[in-house]
Homo-oligomer: A and B are copies of this chain.
Amino acid sequence: VAYGWLSFLTDYGNEDGFVASCHGVIAGLAPHARVIDVTHEVPRHDVRRGAIVLAAVVPYLPESVHVAVVDPGVGTDRRGVAVVTGRGVLVGPDNGLLCPAADALGGPTSAFELTDPRYRLPAVSATFHGRDVFAPAAGHVAAGLDPSALGPAVPPDTLVRLPVPVARLVDGPAGSLDAEVVHVDRFGNVELAADGRLLAAAGIVSGSPVLLGTPGGQWDLARVETFGSVPAGEPLLFVDSAGRAALAVNQGSAAAVFALRAGDVVRLTRADR
């Protein structure tokens, strides 16, 4: 089966032409296919952030070959893999980057290590596997190559997975919850690992007053539906467009106000109990 679409995510940035070289390799192998750039501004080597962004975007893309490269281990013995799901194929390093997106596409059904030299560039550099290994593999798959031709099967349960971020009730079903910051976006909105269901399990529903505890302090805010539900400059807790609990400040930056970044754990407690 050939694919009409690819997606592409890296930490390469857009200054140096690295992304364009990969686009060129894909264009040569699958000239019919079109590429949607997910982002190339993942902070260098931040596998976790790359994984979060990719998983949030893939449900909205057409069925695709998704190439993702955030690869601090390039040139070491970490595996390169193609992960097949019920809704597309993911190609990249086996370092945890791909699994959340694979789960968002229904979970991995099979996986293959990228070892067959026929599906790499003739000369593979030690430092640019995006161009020399991953883009060629993806281009071949988009052109119709069965992923099983890329190399030996990898049992999906041996794929490297990142630690599951903290998201748990603390004092029983109507008490508090602890949740890890998984993403801070360009607007300073702080996305938590908890979803709306876990908020509700802690008794936090639309309109609830909430006490927020961070590593640095405590704040009162409200669980509301959207930014405009509170005055400009006021904080809020809402369920964001990825379905996750998130902290924001209307027309401000929650990350700055609450001094939060990815990996921090916050406690949310319904305040009127």
Contact = CB atoms under 8 A, between A and B. Distances in A.
Nearest to A229: B75
Given A75-B226, A226-B126, A15 B36 contact: no
B76 A228 contact: yes
A12 to B, nearest CB: 7
A87 interface: no
A31 B22 CA distance: 22
A168 to B, nearest CB: 25
Contacts of A72: 251
Interface residues of A, number: 61
A45 B251 contact: yes
A113 interface: no
Given A20-B61, A61-B20, A226-B126, A14 B31 contact: no
A57 interface: yes
Given A23-B36, A27-B62, A125-B241, A16 B251 contact: no
A46 B142 CA distance: 37
B227 A75 contact: yes
A227 B5 CA distance: 32
B228 A24 contact: no
Given A16-B185, A16-B186, A132-B241, A226 B127 contact: yes
30 contacts: A5-B27, A9-B17, A12-B186, A14-B14, A15-B39, A15-B41, A16-B53, A16-B183, A16-B186, A17-B53, A17-B56, A20-B36, A20-B38, A21-B57, A21-B60, A22-B60, A23-B36, A23-B61, A24-B60, A27-B34, A28-B62, A31-B62, A34-B34, A74-B227, A75-B227, A75-B229, A76-B228, A127-B238, A127-B241, A128-B241
Interface of A: 4-5, 7, 9, 12-18, 20-25, 27-28, 31, 34, 36-42, 44-45, 53-54, 56-57, 60-62, 72-76, 125-128, 131-132, 183, 185-187, 225-229, 238, 240-241, 251
Given A4-B31, A14-B37, A23-B61, 14 more contacts: A14-B14, A16-B39, A18-B185, A24-B36, A24-B61, A27-B36, A44-B186, A44-B187, A75-B226, A75-B229, A76-B228, A125-B241, A126-B225, A126-B238
